[in-house]
Chain A
Amino acid sequence: MRILLVEDDAALASILTRTLREESYAVDHAPDGQEAEWLGFENPYDLIILDLMIPRKSGLEVLKTLRQGGVLTPVLILTAKDTKEDVVKGLDLGADDYLTKPYNLDELLARVRALIRRQGAEVSSIMDLGRLKIDTARKEVSREDVVINLTAKEYALLEYLARHVGTVLSRTQLSEHVWDMNFEPSSNVVDVYVGYLRAKIDKPFAQSMIKTVRGHGYMLDPAPRLGTEEDREAQDSYA
């Protein structure tokens, strides 16, 4: 999941960036309204965290321009003001949620998860894909009740694949949503990380869930063929 963080205060931005990266989000930081707008149009973010009091262009202006330009990414507003005037304006302009500074990091992360979840059809923070279970709050992954330890990037890749389960995702799509703007497009980083993930998710088990679709990309298959009786049953019930 890739997040655009718009915050002018360097110290605060640094904390948020580090926190979000620790939670395996890819984070781009914009220190002012102009850059926020440019980045917002340039990259397909899964969430925008927007401080309202930013230089050059106010947060509300950025929000308005992005929404008018057809960017429908969920927006979480940050404000330091007591008055709810700006919050109301922001929500009316198309923001999805807000937080008042100073905020609790856990609450911020919970709201981030909720906003990202809302885009799909999920109802809770635990994604249940039959054999594979992902707890998005604790960043825990288990397959057939075996807990699997993943690095932040591996987890982010898996979560993105899981959110689009059954859909073929191109390398560009994966890089755009799992990596931040420092990603080197000509590299084979995506393939490398898919390799790492396979080693942990698929190798110890009988079936491989991560499929390569030649010429297109990768896909997470929740009920892979070629398996035991149990697999067939699961497949039938899936169908």
Chain B
Amino acid sequence: MLSRIPVRLRLSLGHAFWMAFVFLVMGFALFHVVKHNLYQSVDASLLSSAQSIRAARFDRGFNSPLMERFLHDFFGEKPIRPYAQLVDLSGKIQQKTNHQVNLPVTRLALERAEQGLESFETFALKAPDAAPLRQVTLPIVRLGRFTGELIQVGASLDSTQHTMREILWVLWLSLPVGLGVSVIFGYVLTKRSLQPVVDMSQAVSCLGSADLSVRLPVPNAKDELRNLAETFNRMFDRLEDAFLRLRRFTGDVSHELRTPLAVLLGEGELALRKERSPEEYQTALKTILKESKHMQTMVEDLLLLARAESQAVAMSWQVVRTEAFVSDLVQSVKPVYSKKEVTLDVQLETSLKEFTANVGFLTIALKNILLNAAKHSAPHQKVNLIVGTQGPVPMFTILDQGEGIARESLPYIFDPFFRADTARNRASGGSGIGLSLALALVKLHGGTIDVESQPGKGAAFKVSWSPPEDL
């Protein structure tokens, strides 16, 4: 239910609810503090006037203009005039100012009087619209003993009540006004604070597959919104990278598959356009055969890559003698190296007599890296194959002196069909996924391929893996 209300409204309503609560508590406290203070000040006036009367021994003159003036000075003009009287224990009035009020002496007042203490009481009057009366009862004590006479001074509480009513009015008025103002301000404030979020969502909705280069503006203040914008931007970076890779991959893969297809189709169509000599047919068939073989290699490599990447191949480990393995490996790449006139220099470190690996997969991986090194070497350059260990694990290092890898290409060299030069000369051979396949196969070993390269000075590929111990 609450979750259906828009967040702006929810925030401002929640804000208003708590504001109302605080208003009420504060109003209640204020009202009672003021009420208490007003009563205290009335009581203080009553007590001090009664004490003055007692000290002055106003035995005779309660009903005199002097007394009237005295009381008037204390309490001011009132609808019911303040009064003073002298009563005995039975409640009988012995002396009094000129007034009609006749209140009984209460038990409480008597009990307190016997202990020599004054008491304050409030009496509601029967007359309509009349404010209650506040009366103090002060015992007359002589020589430490209660004489049985009481001085009572009373005054109307009308002005006190008037003040209280006004305060209450102000409180009841200010509550809804304050609440309304706080709701409106809260709403505007939340709306303003949420504006960057609205802007962001607008910017995000503008991002599409067509343009992923847009980034959110990062606010200056180091707050949650800046954090959000930065998080979004980082996500866009990753999305853009993944999207570009995917787009490049689909473009590359369609190029790599369609070009040989176009050759197959074209050669066939051309041959059949008209009668030709046997030599022409032979040439056409040879081209078709060559292209078909090329496609076969590519399809096989792609299948192996897919299986290796999804770990859908059976991985078995064998203990391999280094010397025999390396010599087989070198033999397998020799034709390419001699054709390109690139020297392959092998260094066997004595520390690695034998190692554990999947011979088939490791051979394919290393062969692909060696062929890649040859492809990027000029004639008469040298490729080094160093077989050794790094700590406890075997490591194969392949160094070439070719053109190296540009820094911006480095993250992509293991992407299928990626070629650093846009030159996609299929004459350079290979299926275009040699390095991706190598990495996938080394990963099956739980290993890594580290690449270091300085453009213009060649590249170093370091293959290492740690064989499982429980063999």
A residues adjacent to B (C-beta < 8 A): 8-12, 14-16, 18-19, 22, 32, 53-56, 58, 80-83, 100-106
Contact = CB atoms under 8 A, between A and B. Distances in A.
A22 B280 CA distance: 13
A18 B250 CA distance: 30
B129 interface: no
A181 B259 CA distance: 26
Interface in B74-127: none
Given A80-B254, A81-B254, A83-B251, A102 B262 contact: yes
Contacts of A81: 250-251, 254-255
Contact of A102 (B247, B261, B273): B261
Nearest to A22: B273
Interface residues of B, number: 28
A53 B255 contact: yes
B270 A19 contact: yes
Contacts of A12: 259, 262-263, 266
Interface of B: 247, 250-251, 254-255, 258-259, 261-267, 269-270, 273-274, 287, 290-291, 421-427
Contact of B265 (A18, A83, A102): A102
A100 to B, nearest CB: 8
**Chain A to chain B: the 7 pairs with minimum beta-carbon distance, closest first:** A55-B423, A102-B262, A15-B266, A80-B255, A80-B258, A102-B261, A101-B262
Contacts of A9: 259, 263, 424-426
Given A12-B262, A83-B247, A103-B265, 5 more contacts: A9-B259, A55-B422, A58-B422, A80-B259, A100-B258
Nearest to A102: B262
Nearest to B255: A80
B3 to A, nearest CB: 42
Contacts of A103: 262, 265
B270 to A, nearest CB: 5
A9 B260 CA distance: 9
Contacts of B423: 8, 32, 55-56
Contact of A19 (B263, B266, B424): B266
Contacts of A19: 266, 270, 273
Contacts of A102: 258, 261-262, 264-266
Contacts of A80: 254-255, 258-259, 262
Contacts of A83: 247, 250-251
A55 B421 contact: yes
A58 B269 CA distance: 28
- For the residues of A in contact with B, the DSSP-based class is loop
Contact of A15 (B267, B421, B427): B267
14 contacts: A8-B424, A9-B259, A11-B263, A11-B291, A12-B259, A15-B263, A15-B270, A19-B270, A53-B255, A55-B423, A80-B258, A81-B251, A105-B265, A105-B273
Nearest to A15: B266
Contacts of B426: 9-11
Contacts of B265: 102-105
A9 B426 CA distance: 7
B250 A104 contact: no
A33 to B, nearest CB: 9
A205 to B, nearest CB: 29
Nearest to A9: B259
A25 B382 CA distance: 46
A82 B274 CA distance: 32
Contact of A55 (B247, B261, B263, B425): B425
B431 to A, nearest CB: 15
Given A55-B425, A56-B423, A83-B251, A105 B266 contact: yes
A77 to B, nearest CB: 14
Contact of B270 (A55, A82, A105): A105
B266 A10 contact: no
B269 A104 contact: yes
Contacts of A32: 423
A55 B247 CA distance: 19
B254 A53 contact: no
A58 B422 CA distance: 8
Given A8-B425, A10-B427, A82 B250 contact: yes
A44 to B, nearest CB: 27
A11 B426 CA distance: 9
A53 B290 CA distance: 22
A16 B265 CA distance: 11
A10 to B, nearest CB: 6
A14 B423 CA distance: 18
A6 to B, nearest CB: 14
Contacts of B291: 11
Task: Name the residue among A11, A16, A102 with the largest chain B CB count within 10 angstroms.
Answer: A11
Given A8-B423, A55-B422, A102-B258, A82 B266 contact: no
Most central of B254, B266, B291 by chain A CB within 10 Å: B266
Contacts of A16: 266
A101 B258 contact: yes
A53 B417 CA distance: 14
Contact of B269 (A11, A55, A56, A105): A105
Given A10-B427, A55-B423, A55-B424, A82 B262 contact: no
A85 B251 CA distance: 11
B256 to A, nearest CB: 8
Nearest to A16: B266
